[in-house]
A and B are shown apart, each in its own frame.
Chain A
């Protein structure tokens, strides 16, 4: 089954404790992206990757890191989480970075930073 998986689905952590949210897709997609969803703000793009070893900042990259060492995986790293990073996070992938391609979304990771 074609899908985007994220782990963990739920995470409660404390300020400053490094964490990684994994994302994996099995569709051989070139483009992958991370978003955060906050009430009243919709989804905002954190980072995206057009292919292996090619990543770039979205609209809200501060406090986050990513890497794309393999085509299928695109982990999101919070080196020193803070309470304002409490949010619902989505990973997504699409066939290409060229416009018009559908993005497939993972089920989401709800992160709480205390």
Chain B
């Protein structure tokens, strides 16, 4: 069946460091891909999405490119801030269902 695998956390970075969180997927057909962010005590919020191969999603300085050849959707940000500390989830939707990765906790230190 479909699935999403993302890198284990936690990831600890200093402010202004470069961020990469790896995400790979297994799916039949043509899934849509998402990154969601969860702040403590809250529900998930959409960070960015891509609906077809080679699409790049971007929002608030975060970017991810839908790579069908490597079945990947890695999240990147050039310069993280303390306020980016949260849990990040990679997800896919396919044939009416949604699949989430296990989440990666990001800690950014001043």
Contacts and interface: CB of A to CB of B under 8 A. Distances in A.
User: Do A and B bind?
Assistant: yes
A48 B44 CA distance: 17
A43 B96 contact: no
Contacts of A33: 98
Contacts of A103: 44, 46, 98
B93 interface: yes
A48 B43 contact: no
Main secondary structure of the interface of B (DSSP, over half): strand
A74 to B, nearest CB: 15
B45 interface: yes
A3 B34 CA distance: 20
B98 to A, nearest CB: 6
Contact of B100 (A43, A50, A99, A102): A43
Contacts, number: 60
B32 A105 contact: no
Contacts of A50: 96
A93 to B, nearest CB: 11
B14 interface: no
Q: What range describes how many residues of B lie at the interface?
A: 20 to 34
Given A90-B43, A100-B32, A103-B46, A43 B97 contact: no
Interface residues of A, number: 25
Contacts of B81: none
Interface string B43-58: 1111001010000000
A100 B51 contact: yes
Contact of A99 (B46, B94, B102): B94
Interface of B: 1, 4, 30-32, 34, 42-46, 49, 51, 89, 91, 93-94, 96-103
Given A48-B96, A97-B96, A103-B98, 16 more contacts: A4-B43, A42-B101, A43-B98, A44-B100, A45-B98, A45-B99, A48-B97, A58-B97, A59-B97, A59-B99, A90-B44, A99-B30, A99-B51, A105-B44, A106-B43, A108-B42
Interface of A: 4, 33, 35, 40-45, 48, 50, 56, 58-59, 90, 92, 97, 99-100, 102-103, 105-108
